[in-house]
Amino acid sequence: MNNFIQTSAARTLSNAVQDHYIPAEAPFSTVVRAGQTVRIEDSYGQQAIDTLFYNAADFSERYSSQDTLREHGAAYISTGTRVISNEGRVMLTMTADTCGRHDTSAGACSCESNTVRFGHSVKYLHACRDNFVIEVSKHGMSKRDVVPNINLFMNVPIEPSGEMTIVDGISAPGDYVELKAEMDVLLVISNCPQINNPCNGFDPTPVRVLVWDGEDA
């Protein structure tokens, strides 16, 4: 679907075990097994990819932004970040990042927050929270299982004063992150449909997810 994909010698398009095209504004989920590496690609650039992880064997264990930031000791996640669960365990490790700016403080957009931020006229617009609820429901979960998420490729500068604002994304077409799974995880994505702020360049676009087996698989 695009010419932007980059591959390493070990990982090529032909030896990927999963290759998913996620349309603009759509939800998505898949299981990534321990030892596998998942690549999440911002195929066209400036696209926020709202992301959650659950322990595939026990969904009550899931991503914790608070524990991840505390363990990482920084406000942003990038290469080397260990993705920590609410049980304090490492779910995945970020092993590559061609963009360098990903948020896990600003949360996901919802119809309700849209009306507060942008006016009642936008209430009907689709939002990440709807996407998450739709997608987790396929796995027997409900809205109470949707927790604060990672916003891959969303640019939320945090000022020295502590203020933070969603501004233009800096990701270029084909930028990606790679995460190596340390346990079997359910990956849940909302390809953010927001059109009222710059997180998607005011133009939501498709993204791509690829999975490779580990070297010792």
Query: Which of 81/194 has CB closer to Zn ion?
Result: 194
Closest separation in Å from C-beta 42 to Zn ion: 14
Size of the site for Zn ion (CB under 5 A): 4
The span of 5-13, 92-100, 102-110, 113-121 binding Zn ion (CB under 5 A) equals 102-110
Given candidates 52, 83, 109, 133, which one binds Zn ion under the rule CB under 5 A?
109
Closest separation in Å from C-beta 61 to Zn ion: 24
Q: Taking CB under 5 A as the rule, does residue 92 contact Zn ion?
A: no
Full 3-state SS string of the chain: CCCCCCCCCCCCHHHCCEEEEECCCCEEEEEECCCCEEEEEECCCCCCEEEEEEECCEEEEEECHHHHHHHHCCCCCCCCCEEEECCCCEEEEEEEECCCCCECCCCCCCHHHHHHHHCHHHCCCCCHHHHHHHHHHCCCCCHHHCCCCEEECCECCECCCCCECCECCCCCCCEEEEEEECCCEEEEEEECCCCCCHHHCCCCCCEEEEEECCCCC
Given candidates 194, 206, 210, 211, which one binds Zn ion under the rule CB under 5 A?
194
Q: Taking CB under 5 A as the rule, does residue 150 contact Zn ion?
A: no
Site string for Zn ion, 122-141 (x = CB under 5 A): ------x-------------
Q: Taking CB under 5 A as the rule, does residue 192 contact Zn ion?
A: yes
Binding site for Zn ion (CB under 5 A): 109, 128, 192, 194
